[in-house]
Amino acid sequence: MGLFHIPLQITHFAIGAAALISGEAAVGTTRGVAGLARTAAGLVAESFAGPPVRRSSSHGDNRWIEVRGLDGSAAHTIGTTIVADLLNTPGVRDAVLNEALSRVVVTVESNGPTVEELVEVVEQAESRVAASPDAPRRPSASLPGDDTALAARLLSAYAAGTGLILATGAAALRVTGVTSALAAPVSMAQNSPSIRRRVEARLGPDAAQVFFSALSAGMSVLTVSPGALLADSAVQALLVAETINARRNWERFEPELTRQACKSAGLVGVSPRAAHRSVGAADSYADRSTLAGIGAAAISGIASGKTATAGSAALALVPKPVRSIRESFGVALGRGLMLHHRTVVMRPDALRSLEAVTTVLIDPRVLFTDELTVTRIEGVPPEVRSTAWSAAREALHEGLLAPGWHKLSDIPGAGGDGEALISALRDPFASAVVTESRRVGIRVISLDHDGLRSLGQGFDDLLPTDDGIDRELARALTQLHADGRQVLLVTGSTESATLPAEVVVGVWQDNSIPPWGADLLVPDLRAVWRILHAVPAAKKSATKGIELSASASVIGAVMLLPEVVGNGPTSVNMTAVGALWSGYRLADGVFDDPLPHPEPGHDWHALPVEEVRALLPRPEPRTTKTAGTDERRFPGFLAPVTGPLAATWRIVGEYFEAFREDLDEPITPILATGALATALLGSPFDAVLVASVLLVNTATSTQQSLHAEKVLGGLLAAQEPLAHRVTGATDDADVERVPAGDLQPGDLIRVGPGKVIPADARIIVADGAEVDESALTGESLPVSKATDPTPGAPLADRTGMLHAGTTMVAGRAVAVVTTVGAGTQMNRASAMTARKARKVGLQAQLAHITGRALPWSIAGGVAVGVLSLLRGTPLRQSAGTGVAIAAAAVPEGLPLVVTLAQLATARQLTSDDVLVRNPRAVEAFARLDIVCFDKTGTLSENHLRVVAHRGVSGVADDDVLAAAARTVKATVGKVEHATDEAIHVAAQERGMTLDDADAHLPFQSDRPYAAALVGTTLSIKGAPEILSARLTVVDDGLDELIEEMAASGLRVLAVAGRELTSEQAAAARDDQSALEALCDRDLIPVGAIGDRRHAAPQRTPTARRAPPARHRRPADHRGSPAHRRGGCARSRPAGDARRRDDRAGVGFAHRRCTYRRRAAFPGLRAHGPRAQGAGGGSAGGRRPGECDGRRRRQRRRGHPCRDRGRRPDRNRQ
């Protein structure tokens, strides 16, 4: 939100509020002035302990009328009696009971009975079956369309507005009011959540609102307090606007709601929902502030002997800003949800409870669509999985399969063994909802469901579904409440929507029964994402309200001192008015962020190439805009003037926004309050000094942050991979280079060796393609790619896909783009595992420091002030001394000193080619206990190096290297394959001159070796388990050599060869299939070559300072004990990994298992150490249990490496 946006928002807010509260709009949405007057009169009586008004609404031919007693033992009798009486009423077409809402829905003829006549029928039916006429009063909550909801808001606004006019006139005429002690109890009760709840439990929410508004307006007029009524009038105006918006929104959905209510009659057998009240930080503060106000009133009244002073002291501690910011936040959030997401806000108070939410409980049924698909195939070998998958899909399309597990033997053409899972297709925004829940820092819980698949890793806990989903959700909610959690429940079931969660979001899809009883009815998961996205803003609004309320109370207390300018309660009232804008702005900002990218609706890796091309047609040809082709908004002759002005305005706006964000620190309100209090007590110089230090510190930090962001933005723009988009046919060589951000699904891209893949894509042509996916899966070995579909395969085994951010290390591929931007697998994996970012540096600890130091500083100030009074010092001077002592304990200079030190350090690091994006992270280095390193690309460079080559059977070591080097094919001096490049470099370093090969067999996915023919000598290198089966000599020492090299942590290639006859050599030169046939038998072992990733020389000295025990081998290392045991190493508890370097005082650790990298930081932090991570990659692509899954599956299938103890290597040839 820039500078230009703020005045627009203010104007929009003012005009919108004025229009919505106009009398014409209000009367236009009711049954007329007479009906509104009757409802208002009954509501006034209800507010003062009279009989409750029957809630009802009328829209066209539909009537919604409240039914009482449905939560008692006679609920069934009451319901059937009322429905029967209504159906017997002339003019009534239909009547159905909705128990969840405690409403009977009546449809009448065009000239049918009025609402008042139907209400009389309902009351007579209730009176015949009521248990007792003097049964306890049970207030009912209003629906958005009920007349009582609008009447309550209009009455409250009318009382506040009338009181404001009267109080302002009295103040202008200098009329002396009664003592403020009369208004203090009413104001404290109105703004205390606990007291207000008790009144609402007795009178009902609507009647309590009218009661408090009328009483507050009367007291403020008597005490001549226009400031208090100004704040109340502003709040009531917002509430009227909210009610009118909700009513109009209800009218849009009411016909469909009525149709669904009739459709669900007899199906909904649930009781009305008993809402579970939430208690957040703002509520706790408001109650404590109210108690403090009572104590302050007692002390000041006794000390001064004046009731007016006691009343003013109590009013100065009333937490009005807390309520103001909460109400404005709820109003703006509800308006945005109705406007942008077609949400029906059934209970607006639920939006005020978001700040208290600590857990999200998600019904797994809302994460899926109605479309069925084949989700999993189990119990079959990989080579027949595709056939079984196709047969299951065909049977599903023919309607032969229902959701659930099916034996393949029962599916035509699927085979005999194994099972197929049929489940609903996942909603495109299901992953976004889970990701957003994790991002905002709240726990995410659901029930275990077969269709969740990889989405299950995003939940903190998956509960069993042994007793049905609705019962298990109820059981889970009960347990969460027992654990002190406050829950937001997302469900699409009426039975679950009536559970007593703090907030219930009901997903109401088209042509489905609404989850009656939910607080919010949303049409899809996009609205659920937006509600979760609003949780941080709700928590921030609560914190902001507490800060504003505390500051206003402090300033108000200072104003109560003799000879100090101002009035104590006025400080609170004016702050409450300003808090309305803060809450509105926070909620409105929730809708500034765009919706996330939806997940692709298809498993592209499971589909054949032809089907992918049909589903993703190529977009229309288009051109890419360059920097000089943007259309100007102004005529060309004004460009010299408008260009610099626009640039200057943009820079100023960016700086202002960054300045405001940096100013939003825990210490800022304390310093601002102390400075203002000091100025009021007669020390303006001290106030200016404190304010100057605060502003200079913020300005310096803002400048450094903007500079770093600008430099980083340039680097990221320069590093964005360019895509080679195919402009012609698939086999056409014509390509154009475009930024990755310009790609669209359906585009064809060509990727060559050494290129970063710009988007997720399905391969349609592969030529020896191998991809380094270590950044995504953690697997350090390149993965061979092909065009075959891989249905049901985990991420690491989807050989038909290219993933954005990975690198093509060998070969070439043409692929059709399936996903771009934030929806790519890399970005989704990173977002799924992310939690809310931890702030670092001293500023992040200021809240903790302030929280511990502030009570002591305040206590010291109070003690000094009291001692001064006991010595006979005047009250104002004693108060000034106490405030000065309290303010002096606040380290206002510390942020400036730290910021300057961080700035100097950042500049020094910049000279060493280190870009400091966040200067505050520099200061956190001094408190590190553990440094966590990733291996690939961090402690090692991302290329291989030959470190050992040894011969067997008397073959010289250099001859082994020469034989392997002959199989390397270099094009213009460049070698595409990583392993070939390592061998080629090793041969060049030894000065070997090799003859050109007469024939060559390159490595490819279905041929795990490479061969070359020079004269009559055939040389072959490849995977040991492949070549060993083709040797003529069995006891040759090759196995022992391979085991020895593997135990040393090397990746091993076997080298073999054979001598051919002249006829065989001639045939091999002319026919590649003949050459391949000669490689299948009669080979003689030559030796073995071992390679490993080259360690980065500038990185290893730091790690070597750590104790030797700290240098653990990762689990995928061939020499690790865990690998020899045939599995992935289990991470030791963080407490076992907390050794320290004797010299540096810092421990070093790296991951022992790829997928455990994500869990390392929470585990270390849970045991106390502060951890710093170093490395690249996402490691988000695997779920727990999938690490090294390829090797485990190979062992289960009896792969040769199981018996020989060798690691299968897709990079070996």
End-to-end CA separation in angstroms for the chain: 57
Query: Which amino acid makes up residue 288?
Result: R
Mention every residue, 6+ apart, whose C-beta is less than 8 A from residue 125: 78, 81, 82, 85
CA gap 959, 1086 in Å, rounded: 8
**Helix locations, 278-319, DSSP H:** 281-304, 307-316
Taking the C-alpha atoms of residue 366 and residue 491, their distance in angstroms, rounded to an integer, is 6
Which one of 85, 603, 934, 980 is the catalytic residue?
Answer: 934
**CA atoms lying within 13 Å on the CB side of residue 748:** 20
Amino acid occupying residue 834: A
- From 794, 752, 754, select the one nearest 776 (Cα to Cα): 794
User: Using the 8-state DSSP alphabet, how is residue 61 labeled?
Assistant: T
Neighbours of 885 (CB within 10 A): 17
For 773-923, strand residue ranges (E) read 783-784, 801-802, 807-819
**Beta strand pairing status for 1017-1022 and 1009-1014?**
antiparallel
CA 599 to chain centroid? 15
12 CB burial (10 A radius; 0-12, 13-18, 19+)? exposed
- SS3 letters across 440-499: CCCEEEEECCHHHHHHHHHCCEEECCCCCHHHHHHHHHHHHHHCCCCEEEEECCHHHHCC
Q: What's the 3-state SS for 385-409?
A: HHHHHHHHHHHHHCCCCCCEEEEHH
Q: From CA 810, how far away is CA 976, in angstroms rounded?
A: 5
Q: Which two tokens stand for residue 1148?
A: 């070093």
Distance between CA 427 and CA 440 in Å, rounded?
21
Residue 583 is encoded by which pair of tokens?
């809450």
Both structure tokens of 18: 């004025």
Q: How many residues does the chain have?
A: 1213
CB atoms within 10 A of CB 921: 16
Torsion on CA atoms 694, 698, 699, 702, rounded to nearest 10: 180
* Residue 707, CA distances (Å) to 36, 141, 840, 904, 912 in order: 60, 54, 19, 14, 17
Token digits for 1044?
């020895």
Residue type, 618: R
- Please classify residue 870 by burial: count the beta carbons closer than 10 Å to its beta carbon, then call 0-12 exposed, 13-18 middle and 19+ buried: exposed
> How far apart are the C-alpha atoms of 606 and 989, rounded to whole Å?
45
Rounded distance between C-alpha atoms, residue 521 and residue 350, angstroms? 12
> Pick from 188, 186, 241: which is nearest to 217 by CA?
186
Specify the residue for token string 């690490």. Answer: 1187
∠ Cα 589 593 597 (to 5°)? 160
Structure tokens at 372: 């069925």
Q: Which tokens is 5 given?
A: 């946006």
What's the CA gap between 119 and 539, in Å, rounded?
42
CB environment 1115-1139: b (16+ within 10 A), e (fewer) = bbbbebebbeeeebbebeebeebee
Three-state SS at 1166: helix
795 vs 605: CA distance, rounded Å: 9
Which residues does residue 1014 pair with via DSSP β-bridges, in sequence order? 1017
Catalytic, 934? Answer yes
| Positions marked active-site | 934
